[in-house]
Chains A and B, each alone.
Chain A
Amino acid sequence: MTRPLLEVEDLAVEFDTHGGTVKAVRGVSFSLQEGQTLAVVGESGCGKSVCVQSLVGLIPMPPGRITKGSARLHGEEILGYETLGGKRVRGQMIGMIFQDPMTSLNPTMRIGDQIAEPLCLHRGMRRRDARKRAIELLELSQVAEATKRARQYPFEFSGGMLQRVMIACALACEPRILIADEPTTALDVTIQAQILSLMRDLQQERRMSLILITHDLGVVAQMADEVVVMYAGKVVETGSSDDIFYSSGHPYTQGLKSAMPQNQDRRAQRLEPIAGSPPDLFDPPQGCGYFDRCPQAMRVCEQHHPPDVALGKPLHRCACWLHDERASDDD
């Protein structure tokens, strides 16, 4: 296997708040291969957004703090690297789009100028050239009448169109990695399908890697090569999309699947919700974060952190005591 494009190792992020310190990300490792799509799934508050935001330097510090870990892009460290050079690496190598395009674009700036901005900043392009390029990028994102649209403001666009604008912005510097944080959550399924297919086409055309953050397992099934499942600030399972959907090893991943309707004939299935709610990350549990809600919890889970166990397939790993060889069969 070739060396991964991006390697994240043991990343931890905290936030100081009035109520104490939130340990939002508690030691997360994953890697991203060239040209692949990696989906990060998990419910709100599991740390998936914080995790990728720290990669692109979007964590406000203070109150945020990267307490440990590293992230290497092409072998070069990009974390906590606040020099101009570091920003340049990130700005040019990683593009990012967000869940809510309405609030992530500047409402007082013309669309074309917003796309041109990173080109002037990172590429040293002249304004006129950058504007021309912005129109090309809008066309690439399949925005009709790009020349006219480039002169308009965000309020003149629909949500789906704004997400296309965001994609044009993110692609301006021809990044190697596109990070999409819940890119279609605010959109209707029909528009979601358009945006996902656009992202897939662009990715193949440019041989980009894609990190897709989502809570929608349908979107994961459609897009992902590899999947990282996060819970309570930690990775609980990683593997290929097939590993995760057809032979998942972690009770949380299994729980998520049985909580969703399976589209099978007649109502044979009763949804099995996961009881309770995620733990408080002000005071994260000593052992497994899923202990409280896990139907298969054992005594050891409460006290000790589960080991990261390889499950046969090359990339399939799972952090659960059930897969530890010391775990007995008597539960």
Chain B
Amino acid sequence: MMTSGPLIRAKSVSRHFSLPRGEVLRAVDQMSLDIAPREILGLVGESGSGKTTFGKTLVGLLDRTQGEVWFGDELLPARYTPKDFARFATRSQMIFQDPYSSLNPRMTVGEIIAEGPRLHDRASRANLKDLVAEWLARVGLHPDHASRYPHEFSGGQRQRIGIARALILEPEFVVCDEPISALDVSVQAQVVNLLGDLKASLGLTLLFIAHDLSMVRYVSDRMGVMYLGTLVEIGDADDVFFEPKHPYTKLLISANPEPDPRKERSRTATTIKGEIPSPTGLGNACPFASRCPKVMEACRAERPALRPVENRLVACHLFE
């Protein structure tokens, strides 16, 4: 495997869905980004911006309509066959948002966690039990929990089970799709710290999808902002969070309330108007043109490409 260069390279990845009456929903449209080995890339955006769809195309849970995804020096198939899953599931995994619906209620926790290594012949039957016990302990649960069912656990504990299931195969790359949104604040920190520790000990590369901007900033090395299926800005997490460039990023971050009453009182409210439009029939305009406070003629005529602006990439005509 190459050690230099990115671990994941997405080149103009699109995922379109056909709707009745010949319409096309461009959930993800020509997304390009790289993720370096051992990097945590945070991905933020409103619901409907295509974050989850993009994450799923990276691990083969959704087919790609166009574009390429490279895993190291290997091109991932646009549509996974069962063989591809067998090959890549040990290298890339996903942690899901909803710890309630993503665990099979009829399997014990031990069966859920053991399923990966069992299918991939990673351990003999005897070793499997030890392996499961080891992983339960690693994510802060008790080895005795293996014989229980998911409904016996709280949301935070279930999310730990989901993490153990994803990481037991020791993948290189993990897509975490809103792993903490369903959890209480006090438990969010437990799960975030756990992910951080496991990332350090296993050398993981993570795509961390979430809508909690402060948390993404805290967790991530770099941060990408999605709007209607495309990336509008990507750069160092602190740079993007503290000095946003793209008008959408600015509005998104100014809408994020901070747990500090004095700051909140002195804040000049700039609320973004309207709602995210439907990702059908966008044509060639900048996807943000309909809500942008700084919209120009060029924005309606041509979609801006991602260009380097200072220390990051921004897709906006303002910076040309």
Contacts and interface: CB of A to CB of B under 8 A. Distances in A.
Residue among B185, B213, B254 with the highest chain A CB neighbour number at 10 A: B185
Contacts of A215: 184-185
A218 B255 contact: no
B47 A188 contact: yes
A259 interface: yes
B189 A260 contact: yes
B264 A271 contact: no
B275 A193 contact: no
A274 B213 contact: no
B258 interface: yes
A263 interface: yes
B271 A194 contact: yes
A271 B271 contact: no
Interface string A221-237: 11010000000000000
B187 A189 contact: no
Interface string A194-217: 101100000000000000000111
B46 A265 contact: no
A245 B259 contact: yes
B189 A273 contact: yes
A292 interface: no
B251 A218 contact: no
B154 interface: yes
A245 B261 contact: yes
Residue among A191, A261, A272 facing the most chain B CB atoms (10 A cut-off)? A261
A261 B214 contact: yes
How many chain A residues sit at the interface, stated as a range, is 35 or more
A110 interface: no
A280 to B, nearest CB: 11
Given A265-B238, A277-B156, A270 B193 contact: yes
Nearest to B48: A188
A1 B293 CA distance: 45
Interface residues of B, number: 43
A262 B259 CA distance: 8
Nearest to A241: B261
A155 B157 CA distance: 34
B217 interface: yes
A241 to B, nearest CB: 5
Given A188-B46, A197-B269, A263-B214, A273 B259 contact: no
B190 A273 contact: yes
Contacts of B258: 218, 221, 263
A255 interface: yes
A266 B241 CA distance: 11
Contacts of A197: 269, 271
A259 B257 contact: no
A189 B193 CA distance: 24
B184 A43 contact: yes
Contacts of B301: none
A216 B187 contact: no
Contacts of A43: 184-187
Contact of B259 (A257, A271, A274, A275): A257
A190 B218 contact: no
Contacts of B214: 218, 260-261, 263
A280 B38 CA distance: 40
A229 to B, nearest CB: 12
Interface in A243-292: 245-246, 255-257, 259-263, 265-267, 269-275, 277
Contacts of B47: 188
A98 B218 CA distance: 30
A213 to B, nearest CB: 14
A271 B218 contact: yes
Give the most central of A217, A220, A259: most B CB within 10 Å.
Answer: A259
B256 interface: yes
A192 interface: yes
Contacts of A216: 257
A262 B218 CA distance: 9
A266 B238 CA distance: 7
A222 B188 CA distance: 21
Contacts of B267: 222
B242 A273 contact: no
B252 interface: yes
Contacts of A271: 189, 192-193, 218
A158 interface: yes
B255 A193 contact: yes
B272 interface: yes
13 contacts: A43-B185, A160-B275, A189-B257, A191-B46, A218-B258, A221-B261, A221-B263, A255-B186, A261-B214, A270-B193, A272-B189, A277-B154, A277-B156
Q: Nearest 8 CB-CB pairs, A to B? A: A218-B257, A273-B189, A261-B218, A217-B259, A43-B184, A274-B186, A273-B190, A259-B189
Interface of B: 46-47, 154-157, 184-190, 192-193, 211, 213-215, 217-218, 238, 241-242, 251-252, 254-264, 267, 269, 271-272, 275-276
Given A193-B257, A271-B189, 5 more contacts: A161-B275, A189-B252, A196-B257, A269-B218, A273-B188
